[in-house]
Amino acid sequence: LIIILSFLANYLSKHFIVKGLTDVVNSTKTQWDDVILGKKVFNRLAHIVPALVIYYSINIPLEGFILVISLIKGAALIYMIFMANLAINALLNACLGIYNTYEISNRIPIKGFIQVFKIIIYFICFILIISILVNKTPIILFSSLGALTAVLMFIFKDPILGFIAGIQLSANQMVAKGDWISMPKYGADGNIIDIALTTVKIQNWDKTITTIPTYALITESFKNWRGMSESGGRRIKRSINIDINTIRFCTEEMLSRFKEIHYISDYLKKTETETQVYNQKLDVDHSNLVNGRRMTNIGTFRAYVETYLRNQPMINKEMTFLVRQLAPTEHGLPIEIYVFSKVQEWGEYENIQANIFDHILAVVPEFDLRVFQDPSGRDFNKLTNNFNS
């Protein structure tokens, strides 16, 4: 009779209560109840009903069989605890799924906290089941755990460190799902795809997955590129080495040729006028180009590059914009371009950068300059041929 009642309770709970709740959920417009239904929270709770029937009615047919009643009740309790644990875990998963539908989940992930709650629930259920098996109250078992604290700390070292790290990461908003971070020590360079209690998963640009401990983001240094993505630009920082032997003052012939270049014609006229006025005031002797103020081909080239970049629609003029000389080296005089593109997407960004330097490298000879590069095999062949001839 008890078995029949339990099967009947199971049938009623699944085919009437759960089905009724399913129909109610499907009739609503909200999405959160659909998530709870999808995680089978109600189905797992329904399993508790037949166990309750057995637990409270087993005394009637087995009156007098104390040991058997105790065993069956214990089994029913363990089953109810187990199914309640599954239901709570399903509910926590549903809460996580609902939270992840909001934009804030990318900035403040809670997966690590959910995993901590799960560990606590598992631990409590474990203690309750052990207390049933050994026929002791849970309070006695909890009080005896003091001696096992060191062992538990060792076993749960990573979850504890991960939980503390998760709190600091969330409170300080150090990283978020979708952030691009670089951590060379772990070979990580890509976007964060998951932040869990003990690990953070990063999808590198070559599509490989790197897993690093969560607490490593607290104890070690890493670079977060979120600021770049939020700034509205992406930095272009590259230099061209100019052969110092080709740098000289501009002659009249060079200036007349440079004036035909559209981007710097106005600059040359203005600078030439300022130079003439300056030299006239000082009564400069023009027999030597060293005297007075003169334009150089490297300065004119730098002015051209700056004007050229300012006329590029994909360059962000609101951010840092520099075309500067760096200290001369054994590889020539570096002319560095330090600007920001409006585009942040990697492929398009590289295309913009390549187009800029394609053009600049091509126009260098127009200013009677030469790009410096180390001698190659062809250069040595020319030198050998000249020597032999």
Residue with tokens 């006695």: 140
pLDDT at site 2: 63
320 and 294 co-located in one domain: yes
Q: Which of 225, 257, 289 is the last residue of a domain?
A: 225
Contact 231, 319 (CB under 8 A): yes
Alpha-carbon separation of residue 207 from 190, 270, 377 (angstroms) = 9, 53, 38
154 and 185 co-located in one domain: no
132 and 244 co-located in one domain: no
Structural domain range at position 278: 234-377
Range in 68-77, 137-146, 154-163, 260-269 with the lowest mean pLDDT:
137-146
pLDDT at site 358: 96
208 and 250 co-located in one domain: no
The three-state DSSP-derived secondary structure of 321-370 is CEEEECCCECCEEEEEEEEEECCCCHHHHHHHHHHHHHHHHHHHHHHCCC
387 in any annotated domain: no
Q: Which of 152, 172, 192 is the last residue of a domain?
A: 172
pLDDT at site 28: 76
How much is the average pLDDT of 128-135?
85
pLDDT at site 56: 80
pLDDT at site 168: 80
Residue 1 has pLDDT above 60, yes or no: no
22 and 159 co-located in one domain: yes
Range in 124-128, 150-154, 215-219 with the lowest mean pLDDT:
150-154
Q: What is the pLDDT of residues 5-42, one digit of tens each?
A: 667 776 677 667 777 777 777 777 777 777 877 888 88
How much is the average pLDDT of 126-155?
76
Contact 161, 199 (CB under 8 A): no
pLDDT at site 27: 75
Distance, CA of 339 to CA of 234 (rounded, Å): 8
Q: Which of 60-74, 120-134, 244-258, 285-299 has the highest mean pLDDT?
A: 244-258
Distance, CA of 153 to CA of 141 (rounded, Å): 17
Q: How confident is the model at residue 237 (pLDDT cuts 50, 70, 90)?
A: very high
pLDDT at site 74: 87
Report the CATH number at residue 192.
2.30.30
pLDDT at site 187: 92
Tally helices (H) and strands (E) across the chain. Answer: 18, 8
How far from chain centre, in Å, is Cα 200? Answer: 10
304 in any annotated domain: yes
How much is the average pLDDT of 187-213?
91
Neighbour-count burial of 318, counting CB atoms closer than 10 A to its CB (0-12 exposed, 13-18 middle, 19+ buried): exposed
384 in any annotated domain: no
16 in any annotated domain: yes
Neighbour-count burial of 348, counting CB atoms closer than 10 A to its CB (0-12 exposed, 13-18 middle, 19+ buried): middle
pLDDT at site 336: 97
Backbone phi and psi for residue 219, each to the nearest 5 degrees, phi listed first: -85, -20
Neighbour-count burial of 300, counting CB atoms closer than 10 A to its CB (0-12 exposed, 13-18 middle, 19+ buried): buried
- What is the three-class DSSP state of 212? strand
Neighbour tally for 224: CB within 10 Å? 18
Q: Which amino acid is at 32?
A: W
Q: Closest Cα to residue 241, out of 335, 369, 365?
A: 335
382 in any annotated domain: no
pTM, 2 dp = 0.60
153 and 12 co-located in one domain: yes
Q: How confident is the model at residue 133 (pLDDT cuts 50, 70, 90)?
A: confident
Report the CATH number at residue 273.
3.30.70.100
Q: How confident is the model at residue 387 (pLDDT cuts 50, 70, 90)?
A: low
How much is the average pLDDT of 122-146?
80
Distance, CA of 366 to CA of 242 (rounded, Å): 13
389 in any annotated domain: no
Q: What is the mean pLDDT of the chain?
A: 85
Q: Which amino acid is at 157?
A: K
38 and 132 co-located in one domain: yes
Q: Which of 196, 225, 254 is the last residue of a domain?
A: 225
Give the pair of three-digit tokens for residue 64. 């007098």
CB within 8 Å of 364: residues ≥ 6 apart? 240, 242, 301, 370, 371
78 and 167 co-located in one domain: yes
pLDDT at site 225: 86
54 and 91 co-located in one domain: yes
Alpha-carbon separation of residue 5 from 36, 57, 301 (angstroms) = 28, 9, 94
pLDDT at site 145: 67
pLDDT at site 208: 95
386 in any annotated domain: no
Distance, CA of 311 to CA of 10 (rounded, Å): 75
Residue 364 has pLDDT above 60, yes or no: yes
Residue with tokens 């492929």: 347
Q: Which of 108-112, 278-282, 303-307 has the highest mean pLDDT?
A: 303-307
Q: What is the pLDDT of residues 61-106, one digit of tens each?
A: 667 677 877 888 888 889 899 989 998 989 898 888 888 888 887 7
Number of domains making up the chain: 3
How much is the average pLDDT of 352-379?
90
pLDDT > 70: what percent of the chain? 90
48 in any annotated domain: yes
Q: Closest Cα to residue 341, out of 374, 304, 312, 363?
A: 312
Q: What is the pLDDT of residues 105-118, one digit of tens each?
A: 777 778 878 888 88
What are 70-79's contacts with CB under 8 Å, separation 24+?
Answer: 74/132, 74/133, 76/51, 76/52, 77/51, 77/132, 78/129, 78/132, 78/133, 79/47, 79/51
How much is the average pLDDT of 321-345?
94
What's the maximum distance between 2 C-alpha atoms anywhere in the chain? Answer: 128
Q: Which amino acid is at 281?
A: K
Angle at 384 between CA 382 and CA 389, to 5 degrees: 95
Higher pLDDT, 289 or 269: 269
31 and 165 co-located in one domain: yes
159 and 244 co-located in one domain: no
213 and 270 co-located in one domain: no
Higher pLDDT, 131 or 209: 209
